[in-house]
Each structure stands twice: as C-alpha cells, then as structure tokens.
Amino acid sequence: MTDIGKHNTEIEQDEMENLLRMDPVRSSLDVESRAIEPDNIAGESIVETRFTGGDSLDEPIRVTLFNEFRAIGEKLVYVLYPKNAQVLRDWDLWGPLIFSLVIALALALSTDKIERESVFTVVVALIWFGEAVCSLNIKLLGANISIFQSMCILGYSSFPLMIASIVCAFVPLIFIRIPVIVAMYAWTLFAAMGVLQNSNLSNKKLLAVYPLFLFYFSLAWIIFL
Amino acid sequence: MAHEIEIDSEADLGRTTFEAEDLYKQRTPITKPPAPRLQSRRASMQETPWTIKDSFNVETKDVVQRCIHTLIPTVNFFDVVDDRPDLYGPFWITTTVIQALFFSNSITEYARYATGHGTSGYSIKKLISAASIIYGYTTIIAVLLWGILVWNKCNPKLLDCLCLYGYANIVWLPVSLATPPFGLLSTLASHIVKYVLTGIGLLISIVFLTRNLYPICQQAGSNLCKLLLFGIIVFHCLLALSLQLIFFS
C-alpha cells in the first residue's frame, strides 16, 4: 500500500515537472502528439512514466483517455474551489469544449424541432465567442494573464451552468428552475472571479468583471427559457 | 493673443504637466477656439503610433462619467472624453443593448406563453437580429460619417465617431428594460407607453448626437452641415422605428 502511494506520488511529481517546463504552445503540440502517438522522445518519456507507475494495462488509448479525464477533473476542482492557481497555468480547452457541447445539446433538445439547429449553432458560437471576447477584454485592460489561460478558466467556470442546463431540460416546473438557475449562475460567477485573482487590475477591476457578469447572464437566461 | 496661445499649445504638446497647465490657462477665457484642439489632436495622433490597447486604457469612473453625460447631454461629450476616446464603452454598451433587447423580447414572449397566449418558447433569431442591427448601425454609420467628414476636410478621428455612436446606444438600455413591465397593461395603453418610451430615447440620443456633431460639421460649410445633421436624424429615426417594430411590439 505504501509502495503504491509512493509510486503515485512519483508519477504526479514527474508529470507536474514535465508540464511546468512546457510552453502553452508545446502543451498543445504535446496533446496532438499524445493523440497520434509517434515515437518522440517527449512522448516516450511521458508514456514511460505513466506505464512504470500504475497497473500494467495493454491499451495505451485507454490510459491516455483516463489521464485526460483526470486532468479535466483536477482543473475543474481547482476552478470551482479557487485555492491554488498554480495548476491553472497549464491551460487546456478540453473541458470547455465538452461543457459547451453539452449545454448547446441540452438547449437544442429542449426547444422546438424547427429551431434546434439554430439554437445549437448560436449557443456554441455564443459560448466560444463570449469566452474569447471576455479574455481579450481582460488582456486589453492590462492583465498579465494569457488569453488562452483565461479562456480555460472561463470555460471550466461554466460547469455549474452545464448542470443547470441539464436540470432545466428535464424539469418543467418553474419553482425548481429559478432557484437552480440562480444558484448555478452565482456559483459560475464566483468561480470566474479566479481569472482576476493574479491580475494587476487595480482601478479597472469593475471593467473586467462586468463583461463576465453580462456573458454568464445571457447564457443563464437562454438556459432558463 | 490667439496666435500666442496656439504657439504655446503646440510647443508644450509632449509634456503632460505643461499640457495640463495649458488646458487650465485655456479655460480662463470665456470662449474656447476649436482649432487648437483639432490641431493638437492631429499632432498627438502623428506623434505616437496608436495601438488598440490604448483605446482600452480607461478607468471605471471615466466610463461611468461618460455614460451619465450621454444620458444627460448638457455638456459637450468631447470635453468629457478629453481627447482620450475609448473602445471599451462603445463595445460593451452595444453588447449590453443587444442582450437587453433580446431579454426584453424573450421575457415578453415568455409571459405570453405562461399566460396561455402565443406559441411556446423563444426565438433565437431575435438575438441574431439584435446583434446585426445594433452592431451594424453603430459601425457602418460611424465609419460613413467619418468618411464624409474626412472627405470635406473636417479631420475628425475615427475613434471619436465610434466613441460617440457607441455611447449614444446607451439610451436604448432603459427603454428596452422598461418595456416588459409596461407590457402587462392593456393592449392600447401598452402600445402608447412603448411608443412614448421609444420616442423619449430617440429624442435624447438625437439631442446628444446633433449637439456634439454640430461643431464638427460646421467646419464643412453651412449647407453641408444641415444636410449631414438631417441625415443623422433620419438614420436615427429609422433605427428607432426598427427597434420598435422588431423588439417592442
């Protein structure tokens, strides 16, 4: 038991060291290389560290997917309970992609058949364009955070609204929808404040907060309808 | 005397402290000549290369102050802007108006659906319509106005035109948010109240636009100035009519 714990700790430390050394561009390239699995040194080292620690599994794809979902879970926890901002420096957009597709799918399936394609398209475009514009706004106001990192945080912050969209898709009662949508909207805003945690916007904090309020309000309103 | 002031303003253009002193000195005379401001504006534009980050170099109280002076157009807007036009206010005010129009229309439709009248659900195309109309109007009319003024050698900045039209959109925010409560009245009363609200918003924004554009258009000559102001008023009436027919009825 203690040996397994030590091995897990070693794996986590190795992975953290590898991730901290990477640039955001390299991390995206690394994601691609992990998907294709060529015979690169970096790919081999990552695969070796993962294989030596855990159980001996025969399918690398399963291991890759498991590690990806674990990384998504870790980022989700750190976004929803913002305590340690170090993990969020290694940005990815897998979670935001899943959340936006689930929200758009739930909204499209709960509307009339005539407007399903329009609703799905507009909601996906609204989420991604909204996140990009809010991130660009924070960057232009002078924050020292990269655009993709803030998009990562804003995307993971929309997880409570994903829960609200699933609940509102199946529950027609208005007395359940309103408390759920209000609570999830408040939680999303609370999580999104993490994007301003390390920024140096002293006099412009309200200018950075207001677009987040507007973006998530429009998303919550469309979910409620 | 005017010539001397002009030389001083040109000489001290690069220094912030002396520029402030010059502005303080220039305010002591009763009338303020418009030419030095335009010249200093043009010179400052030629000195430093403009980046889009400069147009977001604005603080919260500045944006709030500009919004207040748009809704209460008693002071010249370009004095409030003080040669520092921003793109934060125009963009986010326009975006807020789009969301407010969609919110107003969808809450009206939802109220009708909840009380048994009308079809179920909302129309996501209203959001696309709102974005197309407001973004399109603000951008196209501002660029068109800037082009006409540049063609007639009035030398305004494109950023000033975008800033002016962007902040002018804020009048539609209280109009669109006030429409759903009055929609609960009877049919005739709600129609009258909605037209009155739209009329008030139209009047405030027309006063705001014409008051601030008149000193600039005046340099293009008397006849062209009247034609430009007439065009500005006509296009703004068309905007108000479009919003009334699509979102408030």
pLDDT tens-digit series, residues B11-22 = 434 444 443 444
Q: How high is the pLDDT of residue B33?
A: 45
Mean residue pLDDT across chain B: 76
**How many CB atoms within 10 Å of residue B211?**
14
CB of A112 within 8 Å of a chain B CB? The answer is yes
- Chain A residues in contact with B120 by the CB 8 A cut-off are 112
Q: How high is the pLDDT of residue B117?
A: 56
Q: How high is the pLDDT of residue B78?
A: 82
pLDDT tens-digit series, residues A165-204 = 998 888 887 778 889 989 989 988 888 877 776 666 677 7
Cβ(A112)–Cβ(B120) below 8 Å: yes
Of B52, B60, B121, the CB nearest to A207: B60
Give the nearest chain A residue to B59 (CA atoms).
A204
CB of A211 within 8 Å of a chain B CB? The answer is yes
Sign of CA dihedral A198, A204, A206, A207: negative
Q: Is the pLDDT at B31 greater than 50, yes or no?
A: no
Cβ(A110)–Cβ(A168) below 8 Å: yes
Cβ(B185)–Cβ(B193) below 8 Å: yes
A111 with B103: Cβ contact below 8 A: no
B59 with A115: Cβ contact below 8 A: no
* Per-residue confidence band for B53, with pLDDT thresholds at 50, 70 and 90: confident
Could you state, in order of their start, the residue ranges of all structural domains in chain B? 91-248
Q: One-letter amino acid identity for B186?
A: S
* Per-residue confidence band for B49, with pLDDT thresholds at 50, 70 and 90: low
**How many CB atoms within 10 Å of residue B234?**
10
CB of A200 within 8 Å of a chain B CB? The answer is no
Choose among B235, B195, B217, B86: nearest CA to B149: B217
Average pLDDT of span B25-46:
44
Q: How high is the pLDDT of residue B38?
A: 46
Distance CA A51, CA A72 (A): 20
Query: Which long-range contacts link A175-184 to residues 24+ away (Cβ below 8 Å)?
Result: A177/A224, A178/A224, A181/A220, A181/A223, A181/A224, A184/A160, A184/A220
Least confident of A58-62, A125-129, B4-8: B4-8
Distance CA B140, CA B161 (A): 11
B124 with A211: Cβ contact below 8 A: no
- Chain B residues in contact with A217 by the CB 8 A cut-off are 99
Q: Is the pLDDT at B246 greater than 70, yes or no?
A: yes
Query: Cβ contacts of residue B98 below 8 Å, gap of 6+?
Result: B127, B130, B131, B134, B135
Of A207, A214, A221, the CB nearest to B63: A207
Q: How high is the pLDDT of residue A127?
A: 93
Q: How high is the pLDDT of residue A86?
A: 55
Q: Is the pLDDT at B55 greater than 60, yes or no?
A: yes
The two three-digit tokens of residue B17, written as one number: 């402290």
pLDDT tens-digit series, residues B157-188 = 788 898 989 999 998 989 988 888 877 777 78
Q: Is the pLDDT at B46 greater than 60, yes or no?
A: no
Q: How high is the pLDDT of residue A152?
A: 86
Q: Is the pLDDT at B225 greater than 90, yes or no?
A: no
* Per-residue confidence band for B41, with pLDDT thresholds at 50, 70 and 90: very low
Check residues B150 and A58 and name the one with the higher pLDDT.
B150
Q: How high is the pLDDT of residue B50?
A: 63
Q: How high is the pLDDT of residue B134?
A: 92
CA B20 to chain centre: 27
Q: Is the pLDDT at B27 greater than 50, yes or no?
A: no
Q: How high is the pLDDT of residue B9?
A: 40
Cβ(A191)–Cβ(A82) below 8 Å: yes
Q: How high is the pLDDT of residue B13?
A: 46
Distance CA A33, CA B193 (A): 62
**Could you give the C-alpha distances from B174 to A116, B95, B199, in angstroms and in order?**
32, 14, 12
The two three-digit tokens of residue B153, written as one number: 């050698």
CA-based nearest distance B56→chain A, Å: 6
Cβ(A70)–Cβ(A185) below 8 Å: no
Average pLDDT of span B95-118:
81
The residue with tokens 């009877």 is B186
pLDDT tens-digit series, residues A65-100 = 777 777 778 777 766 656 555 556 567 787 898 889
Q: How high is the pLDDT of residue B69?
A: 85
Q: How high is the pLDDT of residue A50?
A: 37
Sign of CA dihedral B220, B150, B14, B11: negative
From first CA to last CA, the distance across chain B in angstroms is: 58
pLDDT tens-digit series, residues A26-62 = 444 444 444 443 444 444 334 433 344 445 455 577 7
Check residues A199 and A206 and name the one with the higher pLDDT.
A206
Give the nearest chain B residue to A217 (CA atoms).
B99
Average pLDDT of span A209-213:
88
Q: How high is the pLDDT of residue B218?
A: 77
